[in-house]
Amino acid sequence: MENRRAKDLAVAVAALGMTSLATQVILLREFISVFQGNELVIGVVLAGWMMLTGAGAFLGRFSAPLSVRPSVPAAALACSGVLPPATVLLLRTMRNIVFTAGSMVGILQALAASLVILAPFCLLSGFLFTFFVHLISSIEGENRTASVYAWESLGGTAGGAIFTLALTTFLETFQTLFILLLLDLGVALFLAWKARAAVAAAAVLIVMGAAITALLTNRADTWTRRFLFPGQEIVYFRDTPYGNLTVTRQGGEACFFENSILMFSTNDVTPNEESVHYCMVQRPSPRRVLLVGGGISGTTTEILKYGVQRVDYVEINPWIIGIGRKYTRVLEDSRISAIGGDARMYVRSTANRYDAALINLPDPATAQLNRFYTLEFFGELKHVLNDSAVVSISLLQAAEYQGNEARRLSSILYMTLQRVFAHVLIVPGDRNYFLASDGPLDIGIARLIDRRAVSTLYVNHFYLDDRLIARRSAEITSAIDTSAVLNRDFKPVCYYRQLAYWLSYFGFYPGPWLLTAGFALLLLLGRFSAVGAGIFAGGFAASTVEIVLLVSFQVLCGSLFQMTGIVITAFMAGLAAGTLLAGRIVRRPGIDNFIIVQFAVSVVCLLLPIVLLWLQTMISYPLLVQCVITAIAFTAAVLTGIEFAIATRVRRGGTTEVASELYGLDLFGSALGALFISVYAIPLFGLMSVSVLAGVVSAGGGVLSLIVRKRYAAYA
Residues that bind another protein (CB under 8 A): 100-104, 230-232, 248, 250-253, 255, 257, 260-262, 265, 267-270, 398-406, 408, 430, 457-458, 460-463, 465, 468, 471-472, 479, 500, 504-505, 507, 509-512, 514-515, 519, 522-523, 526, 684, 704, 707-708
- Please, how many CA atoms are within 13 Å of residue 644, restricted to the half-sphere of its CB? 36
Amino acid type, 99 = F
Are 650 and 715 in contact by the 8 Å Cβ rule? The answer is yes
Question: How many residues in the chain?
Answer: 716
Residue placing its CB nearer to another protein in the complex, 121 or 256: 256
> Given the complex with another protein, which of 364 and 578 has the nearer CB atom?
364
Q: Where are the beta strands (DSSP E) in 332-473?
A: 336-340, 354-359, 385-396, 423-428, 431-437
Task: Give whichever of 484 and 632 is closer to another protein, judged by the CB atom.
Answer: 484
Q: Which is nearer to another protein, 193 or 458 (CB)?
A: 458
Q: Residue 468, exposed/middle/buried by CB under 10 A (0-12, 13-18, 19+)?
A: exposed
Q: 154, 14 in Cβ contact below 8 A?
A: yes
Closest separation between CB of residue 401 and another protein, Å? Answer: 5
Percent of the chain as helix, strand, coil, to the nearest 5: 70, 10, 20
Nearest distance in Å: CB 672, another protein: 17
Quick one: 212 or 521, whose CB is closer to another protein?
521
Beta strands 288-292; 431-437: pairing state: unpaired
| Nearer CB in complex with another protein: 147/248 | 248
Smallest CA-to-CA distance from 93 within 253, 283, 230, 264 is with 230
| Min CB(118)–another protein separation in Å | 22
DSSP string, 69-134: -TTHHHHHHHHHHHHHHHHHHHHHHHHHHHS-TTPPPPHHHHHHHHHHHHHHHHHHHHHHHHHHHH
According to DSSP, the residues that pair with 256 across neighbouring strands are 247, 264
How many CB atoms within 10 Å of residue 622? 16
Nearer to another protein, 167 or 235 (CB): 235
Q: Of 225 and 472, which has the nearer Cβ to another protein?
A: 472
Phi, psi of 577, deg, nearest 5: -60, -45
Distance CA 359, CA 394 (A): 8
Closer Cβ to another protein, 363 or 666, answer by number? 363
Minimal distance, residue 102 CB to another protein, in Å: 4
- Distance separating alpha carbons of residues 451 and 540, to the nearest angstrom: 60
Beta carbons of 115 and 47 less than 8 angstroms apart: no
Sequence-separated (6 or more) residues with CB below 8 Å from residue 72: 66, 131
Q: How far is the CB of 157 from another protein (least distance, A)?
A: 36
Question: Containing H/E element for 598?
Answer: helix 591-616
Closer to another protein at the Cβ: 2 or 400?
400
CA 655 vs. chain centroid, Å, equals 35
Residue 403 CB, shortest distance to another protein, in Å, is 4
Closest to another protein by CB, 422 vs 713, is 713
Give min distance, CB of 105 to another protein, in A.
Answer: 9
360: phi then psi, degrees, rounded to nearest 5: -110, 65
> Cβ of residue 518: shortest distance to another protein, in angstroms?
9
Closest distance to another protein from the beta carbon of 408 (Å): 6
Residue 142 has φ and ψ, to the nearest 5°, of -155, 165
Nearest approach, Cβ of residue 647 and another protein (Å): 19
Q: How far is the CB of 473 from another protein (least distance, A)?
A: 12
Residue type, 692: V
Among residues 175 and 248, whose Cβ is nearest to another protein? 248
Amino acid of residue 633: A
Strand runs (DSSP E) across 321-410, as ranges?
336-340, 354-359, 385-396
Nearest approach, Cβ of 696 to another protein (angstroms)? Answer: 18
The 3-class SS string of 262-296 reads EEEECCCHHHHHHHHHHHHCCCCCCCEEEEECCHH
Pair 356, 283: CB distance under 8 Å: yes
Between residues 101 and 627, which has the closer beta carbon with respect to another protein?
A: 101
Of 100 and 620, CB closest to another protein: 100
Cβ neighbors of 232 (< 8 A, separation 6 or more) are 248, 249, 250, 255
List of residues 6+ apart from 432 with CB closer than 8 A: 394, 395, 396, 397, 410, 426, 476
Least Cβ distance, residue 98 to another protein (angstroms): 14
> In this complex, which beta carbon is closest to another protein, that of residue 23 or of residue 598?
598
Q: Report in angstroms how near the CB of residue 712 gets to another protein at its nearest.
A: 13
Contacts of 343 (CB under 8 A, 6+ apart): 292, 293, 314, 316, 372
Q: Min. distance of Cβ 588 from another protein in angstroms?
A: 25
By C-beta, is 109 or 350 nearer to another protein?
A: 109
List all residues 6 or more positions away from 319 whose beta carbon is below 8 Å from its beta carbon.
Answer: 238, 240, 242, 245
∠ CA 59-60-63, rounded to 5°: 120
Separation between Cα atoms, residue 376 and residue 381, nearest integer Å: 9
Taking the complex as a whole, the smallest distance from the CB of residue 104 to another protein amounts, in Å, to 5
Residue 218 or 516: the one with the smaller Cβ distance to another protein is 516
One-letter amino acid at 177 equals L
User: What's the min distance (Å) between Cβ of 483 and another protein?
Assistant: 11
Residue 582: strand, helix, or coil: helix
Facing residues of 264 across strands?
A: 256
